[in-house]
Amino acid sequence: MSSMSSFGRRKQSRESPISFVQIDGLVILKIIKHCHEEGSGSGEVQGVLLGLVVDNKLEITNCFPFPRNTEEDETDESTNLEYQCVMMRHLRNVNVDHLHVGWYQTNPYGSQISKLETIDSQYMYQSAIEESVVLFYDPIRTSRGFLSLKAYRLTNVAMKLCKEGEFTADTLRNNHMSFDKFFEEIPVVIKNSHLINALLCELDEEVAVDCGKQLLDMGGFGVLEKTLQSQMKCVEEVSKHCNHLRQQTAKQQHVAKDNAMRAQRGEPALTEDEVNKILKPLAPLQRLESLLNYSQTLNYCQQSASYSTQNISKLFMAKALQSNSAATDK
């Protein structure tokens, strides 16, 4: 159906028809299983979310994956749509929740949320079903012991701009649109049945604990390094865009100066076609890509800050334990 750790985007606002997302633990296990089987833990995998809407709460009670696309046997959008309809019909026949409430996608290192394909897919879902959400699962961070599961929706302003298909400077300014207003984050609540909670308590007693050593694991350094590398690439793109805007501004000043000199000589000003040949204004799609790149840069900055905070806390804890151990030995 579609093939874009929040980055300064707004938290839940009153404009959304739902206040929070409630997801069953079994659905999370299905998503994790699908990710590790199809994407080898870090590849891009997607699927459908099923459930129902109760008042202002979106309940996700089931899910199923999209068919895997290969280079030898590529499936088009119509085939995926037919597959979804067949799956939902079979689920309805066995009395399982079959209402379409959104889709999920893996989001390693937070790299998928700022893609044009993600915005396009969520726009189609949200246009058809108002309460639809996109659920992002980060397998890399989860493998380090921090379950990363976030739900997002396009804001009303983003939906309006996507519908009009205009991302010009005037349109963005009139709608007060900025790079942090594409998505709004919806709080996620995980719900388990009483039997599952009882099983978890029993497993907690039977499974041996590693004496707290895993609490001081510094495994997040690899993730932090990868995040910083991606952040540097985004900053380079931002720098290129700023340089382009600086050149455009200089050309505009040159055109204005040239027109002023023409007016003094009694000559007509440059025509619009002549000005466009000199300035070459940004296409709406290029402007949208620039906004998304700003969003992704902020996303990586926030992720780096989060990983650094966690590891710095562990370093201080390890230092305190080492000091106590040295004092005890004396």
Range of the domain at 311: 220-329
* Locus of tokens 């499974």: 207
* Locus of tokens 């159906």: 1
242 and 186 fall within a common domain = no
Please give the pLDDT value at position 21: 92
3 state SS of 278: helix
Q: What is the CATH number of the domain that holds 60?
A: 3.40.140.10
Residue 199 CA to residue 83 CA, distance in Å, equals: 35
107 and 176 fall within a common domain = yes
232 and 289 fall within a common domain = yes
Does 272 or 105 have the greater pLDDT score?
105
- Once rounded to an integer, what is the mean pLDDT over residues 292-304? 79
Per the structure, how many domains does the chain have? 2
189 and 262 fall within a common domain = no
The residue out of 134, 160, 194 marking a domain boundary is 194
153 and 251 fall within a common domain = no
Residue 1 confidence class, pLDDT cut points 50, 70, 90: very low
Residue 7 confidence class, pLDDT cut points 50, 70, 90: very low
Pairing of strands 57-65, 46-54: antiparallel
- Once rounded to an integer, what is the mean pLDDT over residues 147-171? 84
Residue 14 resides in a domain: no
182 and 245 fall within a common domain = no
The residue out of 151, 178, 194 marking a domain boundary is 194
Residue 203 resides in a domain: no
Residue 278 resides in a domain: yes
Please give the pLDDT value at position 103: 92
User: Which of 135-139, 219-223, 264-268, 292-296: highest mean pLDDT?
Assistant: 135-139
- Once rounded to an integer, what is the mean pLDDT over residues 97-117? 81
Range scoring the smallest mean pLDDT among 148-157, 182-191, 310-319: 310-319
- 57 strand-pairing partners: 20, 54
26 and 64 fall within a common domain = yes
83 and 126 fall within a common domain = yes
Percent with pLDDT over 90 in the chain: 8
The residue out of 154, 177, 194 marking a domain boundary is 194
Residue 95 CA to residue 322 CA, distance in Å, equals: 58
188 and 224 fall within a common domain = no
3-state secondary structure 168-217: CHHHHHHCCCCCCCCEEEECEEEECCHHHHHHHHHHHHHCCCCCCHHHHC
Residue 314 has pLDDT above 60, yes or no: yes
pLDDT digits over 220-253, tens only?
667 777 777 877 888 888 788 778 778 777 877 8
Does 285 or 17 have the greater pLDDT score?
17
Residue 212 resides in a domain: no
For residue 276, the Cα-to-chain-centroid distance in whole angstroms is 36
3-state secondary structure 124-170: HHHHHCCCCEEEEECHHHHHCCCCCEEEEEECHHHHHHHHHCCCCHH
Please give the pLDDT value at position 231: 79
Does 177 or 187 have the greater pLDDT score?
187
- Once rounded to an integer, what is the mean pLDDT over residues 95-112? 82
Residue 35 CA to residue 46 CA, distance in Å, equals: 8
Residue 78 resides in a domain: yes
Look over the chain and give the mean of its residue pLDDT values, rounded to a whole number. Answer: 77
188 and 231 fall within a common domain = no
Residue 10 has pLDDT above 50, yes or no: no
pLDDT digits over 53-85, tens only?
888 889 999 898 887 765 545 556 667 778 888
Residue 188 has pLDDT above 90, yes or no: yes
Residue 210 resides in a domain: no
Please give the pLDDT value at position 2: 41
Residue 216 has pLDDT above 70, yes or no: no
Residue 297 resides in a domain: yes
Residue 115 has pLDDT above 70, yes or no: yes
Q: What is the pTM of this model?
A: 0.73
Please give the pLDDT value at position 9: 43
Residue 200 resides in a domain: no
188 and 241 fall within a common domain = no
- 105 strand-pairing partners: 46, 136
181 and 239 fall within a common domain = no
